[in-house]
Amino acid sequence: MGEQQHSLKTDLSVLRDAVMVAITNLYATDPDDVLRVFSVRELQYVSAVSEHLRPEQVEDIYRKAFDVLRPLHLPSKPVTESAASAARSSDD
């Protein structure tokens, strides 16, 4: 496997982990909403696939995913509130 393929596979794994954790956390707070969108079988898969992440902090998992997305023109430094407001306004 080439280095680029390995990197893509790693990036997808990081993003998958973040999605699985997000689904798990959403289920913990709003199970009815999650069950409306995901089947029990899918949730069992989510639970099994994300089991290895339990010792990690959720914020660290999300940070890794955010860093994977950074090349997609995300800011490389903290955004001030005024810059964030301007970005939201330009999205409208």
- For residue 20, the SS3 value is helix
DSSP for 17-33? HHHHHHHHHHHHH-HHH
- The chain-wide mean pLDDT, for the chain, equals 85
Is 80 exceeded by the pLDDT of residue 89? no
The amino acid sitting at 2 is G
Single-letter amino acid code for the residue at 62: Y
| Each residue's pLDDT tens digit, 27-68 | 999 999 999 999 999 999 999 999 999 999 999 999 999 999
Q: How many helices (H) and strands (E) does the chain have?
A: 5, 0
CA atoms within 13 A on the CB side of 63: 5
In contact, 50 and 3? CB cutoff 8 Å = no
Predicted confidence (pLDDT) at residue 86 exceeds the cutoff of 70: no
pLDDT of residue 72: 76
Query: What is the per-residue pLDDT for 59?
Result: 96
**Predicted confidence band at 71 (pLDDT cuts at 50, 70, 90)?**
confident
- CA 77, CA 44: separation in Å to the nearest integer? 37
